[in-house]
């Protein structure tokens, strides 16, 4: 039961991170209130990853990709 709930939470988080990442590529969407709300949720999750692996060249941030891979690993363990 608890694994099912965790599985669903991680699936939703996976989707939210994916949507946030796509929106971050579109400058017009970065100013929207929806993006800012997603950013306030996701940025604290990405901060520890960014401390270990800073953006490449100061601009290309791979921390969302690392987080998505980590979530996929957790999801595969919860199945």
pLDDT tens digits, residue range 62-74?
999 999 999 999 9
Domain that holds residue 10: 2-78
What is this structure's pTM?
A: 0.82
pLDDT confidence tier of residue 79, bands split at 50, 70 and 90: confident
Q: How confident is the model at residue 1 (pLDDT cuts 50, 70, 90)?
A: confident
pLDDT digits (tens, 9 = 90+) for 2-55: 888 989 999 999 999 999 999 998 999 989 999 999 999 999 999 999 999 988
Number of domains in the chain: 1
Which neighbouring-strand residues pair with 60? 56
């Amino acid at each position: 039961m608890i694994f099912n709930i965790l599985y669903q939470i991680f699936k939703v988080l996976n989707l939210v991170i994916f949507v946030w990442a796509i929106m971050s590529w579109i400058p017009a969407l970065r100013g929207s209130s929806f993006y800012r709300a997603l950013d306030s949720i996701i940025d604290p999750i990405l901060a520890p990853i960014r401390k270990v692996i800073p953006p490449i060249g100061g601009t290309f941030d791979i921390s969302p990709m690392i987080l998505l891979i980590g979530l996929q690993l957790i999801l595969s363990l919860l199945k």
